[in-house]
Chains A and B, each alone.
Chain A
Amino acid sequence: MNDLTLEIIDLSLSFKGLMETTKVLHDVSLTIGQKEKVALVGESGSGKSVTARLVLGLLQAQSKTRVSGTINFEGKDLAWMTARERSQLRGTRMSMIFQDPVSALNPVYRIENQFHEVLKRKRPTISFDDARVESMAILGDVNITEPERVLKSFPFQLSGGMNQRVMIAMGLINEPTLLIADEPGTALDVTVQDQTLRLMHDMVEERGTSVFFISHNLGVVREFSDRLYVIYQGRIVEEGKTEDVFANPKHPYTRALLAAVPSITSGDTISDAINDTSAFLAPREVH
């Protein structure tokens, strides 16, 4: 037994289509230690979100997926758990933050109801009023000055930045050991995204939460994560401490990614900018 929060070993995933199966993850391995913030970086379509969904156990049950490899969460193999046991981990031991906070919150329920739902995951009998008190406290932690008003609001009544804070608070209120953030705030404007990321950083530092941080933006990753993995077409091509990778990128794809930092933030892919991508398939580099 080790004390890793998340350990992924040789994870592969294929989607069965009508005619053929497409393999979207090829032997992905990565680890996240306790209190560690680890990033998975790659362009759009490289397999970041499916990795996150596999960790949450959301894809395994689908009939069109074929999964192999191991995902150990807190030392336990997800594959050995029942669907029920996996779902019991979600929202309690691990939780997720999404790209667009406004569309990720339920449009027809007040924020306070949504907090109540989330809190009930850990304590099924918690009362609405107790849930309110706890929600107020954590909204204070994410620097929301009028928690009363926010709790009474529907998502459409709040700004994108405000919704993002709400989502961070929701993600952390049950004190999960692992927070998965899939391109958090990419839908927001850059300064708001920056603010909320810094806030999230402080929150997880304080709580000692491990973070699996997914992004296509190396610039953001540099500020946020302790270690990073670079993924290209479903394969990890480089891994290492963030500062090491930035100081001395070894893999051709990572170098291209770094060179493209200013333009990739606008959503372009590297492959669009570079003609010869054959070097990107070179073996994995480890720092």
Chain B
Amino acid sequence: MGNVLNLLIRRVWISLLVLVGVSILIFLIARVIPGDPARIALGPNATDEQVIKLRGELHLDDPIWKQYGYFASELLQGDLGTSLYTNRPVVKDIAQFLPATLELVFAAGILMVLIGLPLGIISAKYEGRFLDNLIRVIALLGVSAPSFVWAVILMLLFAFFLPLFPIAGRIHTDFDIDRTTGFLLIDTLLVGNLRAFVDALWHLFLPAFALALSGIGQAARLTRANMTETYRRPYIEMAHSYGFPGWRVARKYAFKPSLIPSLTIIGLDFAAMLGNAFLVEAIFAWPGLSRYGVAVILRKDLNAIVGTVLIISAAFLIANLIVDLLIALLNPKIRYARRNP
């Protein structure tokens, strides 16, 4: 287990470094965009004195490295500054909008794994037969269109023409749920409102499915490819020669060894969903980080832009970290490799 811990520590360090790099980059980009944030924030009727005063408060006239210094030291204290758009601390804004996005992305990730992997396993087990071909067509469909296209199609089909699912939002406005965690699926359960829970789940399904579809296709294709490769290994023949039942061979002998290479891609897909979620949120009027992100970009709300990008990068890095850790835990060659032989 020492190996895994070492790996984890190393990966956390690298992630932190990446995060610092991202913060510098996004800070620079945000400062370089033309337009005076102070003037935009104060509106067209502000006097020059007011603008100069705000520029001073925001340190906008200092050299850029100094500005970054202020920013970084505040960041370390968990302070991302105040949004010029909402006039509230950026941290508060993000805390309000992030859970909706995370709920959507987690749901999509779960769908990706729960649907994509089994499809891949079935496909590989029935290689070359009807079921395999059917699944391959479905998987190809999934990866052939980006998630926002799926979002529009699914919305038209299953919310508009066939009104099976709600067309927009997270939950029916009749429900008034205390926001404890911000995750509606959890909050509704915390207050014991089962009908609200089902309603939230109902709202979540279409956007999550749209977001997951390409990931489902990707996971199925990858799992199938790795597993059919594994099926040609000698230990599969050995398993058959010992008469192990077909599904047991599929699971323990073909699937588990092929899961390791699949996981890396699944992890990347999952992280990519954070980005794709922006468009899906826009289509389904999902009150997540995308709405906030678009609004603050249009208003050149420096602190909010930097904060939003940083949070998304951090989520991306954490997702990758978890996948790396899972791989290390699954792969005995990493877990038990002799260190520096």
Contact = CB atoms under 8 A, between A and B. Distances in A.
Contacts of A98: 234, 237-238
Interface in A60-80: none
Contacts of B257: 106-108
B252 A109 contact: yes
A91 B253 contact: no
Interface string B172-187: 0000000000000000
Contacts, number: 69
Interface residues of B, number: 22
Interface string B247-267: 000001100110010000000
B233 interface: yes
Contact of A100 (B234, B252, B336): B234
B235 A103 contact: yes
B244 interface: yes
A186 to B, nearest CB: 12
B310 interface: no
Interface string A72-112: 00000000000000011111100110111001111111100
A232 interface: no
Contact of B241 (A56, A100, A117): A56
Nearest to A103: B234
Contacts of B243: 87-92, 121
14 contacts: A88-B243, A91-B242, A95-B242, A96-B241, A103-B235, A104-B238, A106-B253, A107-B257, A107-B332, A108-B256, A117-B244, A118-B242, A156-B333, A157-B336
Nearest to B242: A91
Nearest to B239: A106
B231 to A, nearest CB: 13
Interface in A151-191: 154, 156-157, 180
Contacts of B245: 87
Interface string B16-32: 00000000000000000
A107 B239 CA distance: 12
* Range of interface residues on A (Cβ < 8 Å): 20 to 34
B242 A156 contact: no
A104 B234 contact: yes
Interface in B200-244: 233-235, 237-244
B330 interface: yes
Interface of B: 233-235, 237-245, 252-253, 256-257, 260, 330-333, 336
A92 B331 CA distance: 30
A89 B241 CA distance: 10
Interface in A115-158: 117-118, 121, 154, 156-157
Given A107-B257, A108-B330, A90 B241 contact: yes
Contact of B238 (A87, A88, A105): A105
B145 to A, nearest CB: 34
A43 B197 CA distance: 68
B233 A103 contact: yes
A229 to B, nearest CB: 21
Contacts of B240: 56, 58, 90
A156 B235 CA distance: 13
Given A58-B240, A107-B333, 14 more contacts: A90-B242, A91-B243, A92-B243, A98-B237, A103-B234, A104-B237, A104-B238, A106-B239, A107-B235, A108-B256, A108-B257, A121-B243, A156-B333, A180-B241
Contacts of B242: 90-91, 95-96, 117-118, 121
Nearest to A157: B336
Contacts of B332: 107-108, 110, 154, 156
A10 B331 CA distance: 47
Interface string A42-59: 000000000000001010
A105 to B, nearest CB: 6
Nearest to A170: B242
A61 B125 CA distance: 15
